[in-house]
Structures are given as structure tokens and as C-alpha cells.
Amino acid sequence: MVRRFLVIGHRGAAGHAPENTIAAFDRALAMGVDGVETDIRATRDGVLVLLHDATVDRTTRGSGAVADLTWAELEGLDAGARFAGGGHPFGVQRIPRLDTFLDRYGGRTSFRLEIKARGGGGSCRPPGTGAAADRDGGLYLLPAWGDNGRAADGAGGSDGLPVRGRGV
């Protein structure tokens, strides 16, 4: 049996557009990827946003930990401010909310969602579950959505869970 490798756009098409932005996800789809991967963090007021780092410092001109900032403080930041030294054709790229991402891409591609620990540098995995979770804030794994309308596990295979609504 020959297995087909899937091409997954890491943080969208990071390297071709500002990572974890609508421009990056659109570019990845235009490049023909089989799916996209993105990172999720919670703001201080509980809004789920797409950002890899624990802070906004590397990708925006702002500073501070995502977990310490509110959505109102994040929504005006340009997530592409530091991409290619700021000289790129994508214009201002806002930090996307998870609900915006799901509304835009939910039926268009499969995706892998990495939930980052609130205030920490990486994901937490409760013993025996294989699911990412936030120890103190109650964030739990959202299954990756497949093109077939079924949830896919973290390894990219189907675990047979039907996707209901947007899972949030």
C-alpha cells in the first residue's frame, strides 16, 4: 500500500506571507496545500486567537503576553508588521480570531489546531488523553476538521468523531 503524503501549510504559508494571518492561509490554499496548521492562544478576556508565540513581540510592533492582553488590545495590532521588514504586499494583517478562521476555512480545507497553554510556552497534554489542554483556563483540543466533515486526530487520521457546528 502506498501512502500519500499530505502537504500542510505550517502557520498558513509562513515564509510566503505573515504567519497565522488570513493572507498566509489564503496563500497556502492558493499554493495547493492539503490543509493548514495554526496555533491558538486565549487572551486575558478569553477570546481565542491565532498566534504561535506566547507574546506578540516577534510578529507585531506591540509587546506583552497574549494571556495578559485583552482582545481589544490585540485587535488593532498588525500581525504582519515584522514580516519581510514590513515591506510586503499584504497590507495590514490583523491577528485572527479562531471563530473568524473557522467561518472562513471550515468548509474549504482540513486543518490542524495546536492549542497553546495559557501563559506558557507550549501545549499541555493531560495524561492518557493525547489532547492539548490549558491547565488553568479550561482550553481543550478542538479536533482538526477534515474535508469529509469528520474530525481528524492530531496525526491526521480520522477518529470517527462527527463535527458538530464549529466545535467551540
> What does the pLDDT look like over 117-163, one tens digit per residue?
644 444 433 334 343 333 334 444 444 444 444 444 333 333 333 33
Of 27, 52, 97, 116, the active-site residue reads 52
Q: Determine the residue type at 95.
A: I
Q: Does the annotation count 88 as an active-site position? A: no
| 92-113 confidence digits (pLDDT tens) | 999 999 999 999 999 999 999 9
pLDDT value at residue 108: 93
Q: pTM for this one?
A: 0.71
By the 8 A CB rule, do 123 and 131 touch? Answer: no
Average pLDDT, the chain: 78
The domain ranges of the chain are: 8-156
Q: Determine the residue type at 123.
A: S
Q: Determine the residue type at 82.
A: R
All three cell numbers of 30? 492558493
pLDDT value at residue 153: 39
Closest to 156 measured CA to CA, from 55, 33, 45, 51: 33
- Tell me the CATH number of domain 8-156, given options 3.40.50.300, 1.10.3720.10, 2.30.40.10, 3.20.20.190: 3.20.20.190
Of 9, 10, 44, 96, the active-site residue reads 10
Q: Does the annotation count 52 as an active-site position? A: yes
| 12-70 confidence digits (pLDDT tens) | 999 999 999 999 999 999 999 999 999 999 999 999 999 999 999 999 999 999 999 99
| Residue 98, phi-psi category: left (phi > 0), alpha (psi -120 to 50), beta (remainder) | alpha
User: How, if at all, do strands 48-50 and 8-10 pair?
Assistant: unpaired
